[in-house]
Every structure is written in structure tokens, then in C-alpha cells.
Amino acid sequence: MIKTTSFGVLLLSAFALIVSLGVNFFSPSGIALVGQWDRSKGVVRAKSQQDTVDIEVNNPLLVRQMINNREVVLLDVRTKDEYDMGHLPGAFSFPLADFDLVFPRLLGLVKKDSAILVYCSGVECTDSHTFATQLLAFKYTKVRVYAGGFREWQEMGFETEKNEG
């Protein structure tokens, strides 16, 4: 009796695992099972099944050139307090935590086909990726993420701006 019950439990568990993996695989919003998990290479996140384009910019010199040439609208998605203490030149503050409140302002400021560069505090911060994903969902077409964020910008010794009190 115990042997039969154990076999039944094992069989049922295997069936449930196969069905759940199958549903996850075919679901458009399934959980990604592979991705970048090495913290030394940047943000730890799974690659979505829908991620077909890499939106990260990992070269601070290229970011600086984009900013200097005014090629992008720069969005800082850190908190307002962090933004006020220092941010990349010309960046607008759009805190991720206030997305629902700040998004209408963004609609009035940035066209959907404008080049947008989003950043947060550094390579371990996922807020910029989350914000960029939300922009893409709202049909913004040229959204990229500066993965190194504010920390890398400072480490490079590049100019920052502050909002004085």
C-alpha cells in the first residue's frame, strides 16, 4: 500500500511539473527560466520571453556622447531626494515609485518616437529596467537603459548637476 501511494505521489508530482513548465513556456507572460544571474555583469534579471532586443547601454563614454550631443531625453528614475543630491546633466526626474503620477507629465514632455535613456543608481538597480519596460508597453519605441547608472557616471569623474534647496 505504501509503495503504491509513494509511486502515485511521484507520478502526480512529475505530471504537475511537466504541465506547469509547458504552460509557462507557451504563456506570453511566462516566467523566464534563463537570464543573467551574474551580479558582476550588471543587473540580475531574467530575460523575458518577449525580450528580443537588448536595450542596455553599457559604455559610459557613449552615454556621455549621447548627452553632450543632445541625442536623448534623459530620465532619472531614482527617488526625488537622490535626484536632488546629484544627477546626470540635463536629466529629468521621473521616480519609478511615482510612475502613475509622473507618467502624464512624461506624455506631455516626450514624443513616443523620441530617443529616451533611463538610468537609476547602478548596475544592481532594476528600477531603470522596470521603467523602460513600462515605457515600451506604452508604445515608446526608442527606449534604452544606462546600466551603470549614476554610480558609474560618478566613478568616471563626469560632471553632475545638483538641485540646490
pLDDT 10s digits, 44-70? 455 444 443 468 999 999 999 999 999
- pLDDT value at residue 10: 86
Identify which has the larger pLDDT, 49 or 114: 114
Q: What is the DSSP string of 67-103?
A: HHTT-SEEEE-S-HHHHHH-B-TTPEE--GGGHHHHH
**What is residue 51's predicted lDDT score, i.e. its pLDDT?**
45
Residue type, 135: L
pLDDT at 32 > cutoff 90: no
Predicted pLDDT of residue 72: 96
Per-residue pLDDT tens digits for 13-22: 888 888 888 7
Strand-pair category, 73-76 with 115-119: parallel
Architecture of domain 37-155: 3-Layer(aba) Sandwich (3.40)
More confident position, 63 or 12: 63
Q: In the chain, what are the domain boundaries?
A: 1-31, 37-155
Residue type, 97: A
pLDDT for 54: 67
Its pTM stands at 0.69
**106's grid cell:** 512624461
